[in-house]
Amino acid sequence: MTLTSAPPTPPRPKRRVGDRIFAGSASGSGILILLVLAGVAIFLIGEAWPAITAAAADLPGGQTLTAYIGPLVFGTLIAAVIALLVATPLAVAIALYITYYAPRRLATAMGYVIDLLAAIPSVVYGFWGIAALAPALVPLYGWLAENLGFIPLFAGPASATGRTMLTIGLVLAVMILPIISAISREVFSQAPALHREAALALGATRWEMIRMAVLPYGKSGVIGGAMLGLGRALGETMAVAIVLSGSGGITFNLISSSNPSTIAANIALQFPESTGLAVNTLIASGLALFAITMAVNMLARWIVNRRADFSGAN
Amino acid sequence: MSTQTSPAPAPVTERPGPVQSHRRLPRFAATGLYLAGLVLGALLSALTGFNLALTVVYGAVLGTLAVWLTSRAVEGRRKGTDRLVTCIVTTAFVIAMVPLASLVYTVLDNGLRRFDAAFFNSSMLGVVGEGGGAYHAIFGTLIITLLTTVISVPIGLLAAIYLVEYGTGRLKRAITFLVDVMTGIPSIVAGLFAFALFALFFGPGVRLGVMGAIALSVLMIPVIVRSSEEVLKLVPNELREASYALGVPKWRTIVKVVIPTAIAGLGTGVTLAVARVIGETAPLLVTVGIINGTNLNPFEGRMATLPVFAFYQLTQPGYPPELAIERAWTAALVLIMLVMALNVVARLISRFFAPKTGR
């Protein structure tokens, strides 16, 4: 080379055809996922549009779209909230038991059993709910209506079949338990060993160690896990469709036989027999469900990821 | 044991007061007290007519109280609280196991009645009342799941490769975040999406096996991306660098080095993803429907699938209802067995095809 050459350019890496094809298809797949997510929103809006713009008289039941979806949204939210209130404390306890209380050898087996709970199909939970749980709860509902009837939640009259809002809340709680406990378990086991050992070395009991070193560290993980469970409970379809006898409007009475249905269960039950504008109305309700679950999931992921950003430093 | 310790300084350090008490309960005292509480609970419940649920509730409360109060009196406040929390956490764990045991028992109890040859080799075509089976539904489920896997695995795997090997900056962050969000899409919404997509081209009322496969792919792809991404990240960077140093192009490095190293984890992830979608009911309900006869062509007409079959046999049993309900339970049992088998296969894959590199 001569001295007059321009600033030395490094030899360009050779672009091979194979590399280009592979890189292209890999990033194409990544972008395809974004397109699918956008497609879900676009196609749902497209199919829901006729129902959104239609006159109230043409819709099923002859009422406006908000009047149709309103009670469903209410039912969806109340069932999911019951599930969350029941499942979160239990899930945290399970996670603590597996990570810090159970014998080490048993703990992995127990974790595996809990994960299996998550894999059981939702339709089977529905079968179990209607065959085992609902009949078992009927005496409890009778007792609640008799003794705690002054609380609006238990006003009664108690359902004779047990197919009530409270039952479905409990079924959903069992279903989301493994999700919340899996995430809690993960964050609890990641609590820094140095903090834990330092606490124990200072004479803390096991519970004090957990309270001071593990729970503060795992708090946002538990919140995020609970919200993921909430998202799952909101969208759960088959168990609700089988167990809940949904008929009726907005009510806080959890143990009577008239309950609002949920969005997902209503779609599953009505869709196969629907035609024309009724289909569009159901898809509009599905769009509402999509929006609610997306919001909950995004919030949950944001909370979980925020923890991930900080966790590396300690 | 501690018989050898010198006794001399003990009187000096021992101070009265709640700060530190060295008295401890004997080793099995807590367990014994808890059991005593359970027995007392059983007696209490027997007074008002025996009831299993009440026995457990009384027993757990009394046992916990017994342990807490005794430990508090003997060992002090802090140790007492510790024992109380141990009791509560253990009890909560046992409570959480109850539904699982009950579920397995119920499904086995009801499902084994029709767990016979006829269930596996006859369809519901022309069946009224007795007999009939889920041959058509089992094959429908297998075909649709296979189709879903064929669609989802390449896309999911390539997307994971993009995220680990190629992706940078904002696009990578967006895809990671949205894949996470996508894992939370309600299954029924995925079904509605597939319906809306096909209704656009084929008109409303269309029901095809492939629609179900598309709907399930929307649910399966994010699961595969997540699990594959985790596994690919575990492949040590030294292996990639060694390959580049030998002049191997990037795509061959990925195909020949990265993927073979991670193959066990990838196989486990895919198997678990299949287990997750094989039991999905709602999307198939709105996209594939149900028929009584056998249709093995996913590109033409309705198909039967095991979960949808179980759902309709239970909720629309016809007359006499008992026979259809028994078929529904057996279908549920077969479904659980499929899911369990897939989980076991996933475990075996991760055990036997574990990476050969040291970790």
Average pLDDT over residues B283-292: 89
User: Which of B50, B93, B337 to probe the A interface (max A CBs under 10 A)?
Assistant: B93
**Residue A157 structure tokens:** 């009259």
The structure tokens 């007290």 sit at B33
Find chain B residues with C-beta within 8 A of A25's C-beta: 158
pLDDT at residue B74 in the model: 86
Find chain B residues with C-beta within 8 A of A90's C-beta: 92, 95-96
Cross-chain CB nearest to A206 (options B82, B205, B307):
B82
pLDDT digits (tens, 9 = 90+) for A260-298: 888 999 898 888 888 888 888 899 999 999 999 989 888
Cross-chain CB nearest to B106 (options A119, A132, A267):
A132
Query: Of the given ranges (A153-167, A267-281, B1-15), which has the lowest mean pLDDT?
Result: B1-15
pLDDT digits (tens, 9 = 90+) for B162-221: 999 888 888 888 888 888 888 888 999 999 999 988 888 888 778 888 999 999 999 999
pLDDT digits (tens, 9 = 90+) for B127-138: 777 778 888 899
Q: Which residue of A has its CA nearest to B271?
A: A119
Find chain A residues with C-beta within 8 A of B166's C-beta: 23, 26-27
Q: Is A108 exposed, middle or buried (0-12, 13-18, 19+ CB in 10 A)?
A: exposed
pLDDT digits (tens, 9 = 90+) for A175-188: 999 889 988 888 88
CB atoms within 10 A of CB B54: 16
pLDDT at residue A82 in the model: 93
Q: Are A174 and A125 in contact (CB under 8 A)?
A: yes
Distance, in Å, from the CA atom of B329 to the CA atom of B342, rounded to the nearest integer, reads 20
Cross-chain CB nearest to B180 (options A89, A241, A301):
A301
Confidence of residue B234 (pLDDT cuts 50, 70, 90): confident
Rounded to two decimals, the ipTM of the complex is: 0.85
Instruction: Write the CA distances from B116 to A18, B226, B229, B279, B337, integer angstroms.
Output: 53, 39, 42, 21, 15
Query: How confident is the prediction for chain A on average, in pLDDT?
Result: 84
Mark yes or no for CB contact A97/B314 under 8 Å: no
pLDDT digits (tens, 9 = 90+) for A87-128: 999 999 999 999 998 888 888 888 888 878 788 898 999 999
Mark yes or no for CB contact B196/A283 under 8 Å: yes
Beta strands in chain A (DSSP E): none
Count of pairs with CB atoms under 8 A, one residue in A, one in B: 271
Domains recognised in chain A with CATH numbers: 64-311 (1.10.3720.10)
Distance, in Å, from the CA atom of A79 to the CA atom of B72, rounded to the nearest integer, reads 40
Mark yes or no for CB contact A27/B166 under 8 Å: yes
Find chain A residues with C-beta within 8 A of B110's C-beta: 131
Mark yes or no for CB contact B204/A279 under 8 Å: yes
Domains recognised in chain B with CATH numbers: 24-113 (no CATH), 120-352 (1.10.3720.10)
Mark yes or no for CB contact B204/A275 under 8 Å: yes
Average pLDDT over residues B9-36: 65
pLDDT at residue B13 in the model: 47
pLDDT at position A65 over 80: yes
pLDDT at residue A309 in the model: 54
Mark yes or no for CB contact B279/A124 under 8 Å: yes
Beta strands in A25-177 (DSSP E): none
pLDDT at residue B241 in the model: 93
Mark yes or no for CB contact A289/B189 under 8 Å: yes
Confidence of residue A304 (pLDDT cuts 50, 70, 90): confident
pLDDT at residue B10 in the model: 45
Q: Are A238 and B282 in contact (CB under 8 A)?
A: yes
**Residue A144 structure tokens:** 């609640």
Q: Are B97 and B121 in contact (CB under 8 A)?
A: no
Distance, in Å, from the CA atom of B209 to the CA atom of B147, rounded to the nearest integer, reads 9
